[in-house]
């Protein structure tokens, strides 16, 4: 009897070991996220992006691991972080912003890169073309050739008597400099003088504000990237204290007290990024995925801010708004 029990126990162990060996192990996907902004308190990539990936079947703790890195606005760290990520060999890297995308492109020619918020990737040389980006990089572009000019037109509608408009942008970011040049071209047709307020780090904002106090522009247009967005509170305070109506590029800053914005929905872009990541994980080559350009834009107006600035929003603008904050 004892021998029979021993034999049965041994067979059970063998069977269990065989079954464990035979069961397919879940594949764990490693997705890296790389941005130039300030590290968030939770140290995680955007919640909207995580949720979109989860809806596509990527569940943390089961089949996906996220690697997140931020440069905290220190441009000199971008190449170092990019190389570190390349050495980790993730399945795909999401590069948020032109500068991280450029650094990541220089760090690897094999790891797939999905970019977003990079401006016009063709004009900056990031990709060969929208239809055929080439190499290992693709993604979502927030750039429309007419978009910057349209923002200036809207600002002119809000402030019809405006003849001088200040433009604040990160001159250390070629994608944002391209956007500034578009604004300059549009300003000529509208007979508007542009005050160029170039910043390269957070220390430059006080000088830009001082220049605006001296020049007293009729309005302000803010080009958004990691640098200007990270100094958002300072820009909002200046605009409020100086009674300067300002146009921004996306809705969140208007919900935080900005006057008006026009541009693609940031969350929509992140959801599209998730779709591109999914395509690549399932076998698509980045070079075969055209750069997708945003085609839907939203207009937001903060009426509380308009009243505090003494700005009367024309009905022609008010009636086109997708969201009005009271």
Ranges of residues in the chain with a pLDDT under 70 are 1-26, 144-145
Specify the CATH number of the domain 147-263+297-325.
Answer: 3.40.50.2300
Domain with CATH 3.40.50.2300 in the chain: 29-142+266-293, 147-263+297-325
- Give the pLDDT of residue 16: 47
- Give the pLDDT of residue 294: 86
Contacts of 215 (CB under 8 A, 6+ apart): 164, 166, 195
**pTM for the full predicted model:** 0.89
Distance, in Å, from the CA atom of 166 to the CA atom of 6, rounded to the nearest integer, reads 86
- Give the pLDDT of residue 143: 76
Domain at 29-142+266-293: CATH architecture: 3-Layer(aba) Sandwich (3.40)
Q: Are strands 298-302 and 260-263 parallel, antiparallel or unpaired?
A: antiparallel
């Amino acid at each position: 009897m004892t021998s029979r029990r021993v034999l049965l126990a041994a067979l059970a162990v063998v069977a269990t070991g065989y079954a464990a060996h035979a069961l397919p192990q879940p594949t764990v996907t490693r997705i890296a996220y790389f941005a130039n902004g300030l590290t968030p308190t939770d140290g995680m990539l955007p919640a909207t992006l995580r949720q979109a990936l989860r809806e596509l079947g990527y569940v943390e703790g089961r089949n996906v691991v996220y690697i997140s890195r931020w440069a905290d606005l220190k441009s000199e760290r971008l190449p170092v972080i990019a190389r570190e990520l390349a050495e980790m060999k993730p399945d795909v890297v999401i590069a948020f912003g032109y500068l991280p995308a450029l650094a990541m492109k220089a760090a690897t020619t094999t790891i797939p890169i999905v970019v977003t918020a990079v401006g016009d990737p063709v004009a900056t040389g990031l990709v060969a073309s929208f239809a055929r980006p080439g190499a290992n990089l693709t993604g979502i572009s927030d750039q429309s050739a007419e978009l910057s000019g349209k923002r200036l037109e809207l600002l002119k509608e809000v402030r019809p008597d405006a003849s001088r408009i200040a433009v604040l942008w990160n001159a250390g970011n070629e994608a944002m400099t391209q956007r500034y040049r578009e604004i300059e071209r549009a300003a000529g047709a509208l007979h508007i003088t542009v005050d160029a307020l170039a910043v390269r780090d957070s220390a430059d904002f006080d000088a830009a504000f001082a220049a605006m106090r001296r020049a007293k522009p009729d309005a302000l247009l803010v080009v958004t990237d990691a640098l200007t967005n990270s100094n958002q509170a300072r820009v909002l305070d200046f605009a409020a204290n100086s009674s300067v109506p300002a146009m921004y590029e996306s809705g969140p800053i208007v919900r935080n007290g900005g006057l008006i914005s026009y541009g693609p929905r940031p969350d929509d872009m992140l959801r599209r990024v998730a779709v591109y990541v999914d395509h690549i994980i399932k076998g698509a080559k980045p070079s075969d995925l055209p750069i997708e350009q945003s085609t839907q834009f939203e207009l937001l107006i903060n009426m509380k801010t308009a009243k505090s600035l003494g700005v009367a929003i024309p009905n022609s603008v008010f009636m086109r708004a997708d969201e009005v904050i009271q």
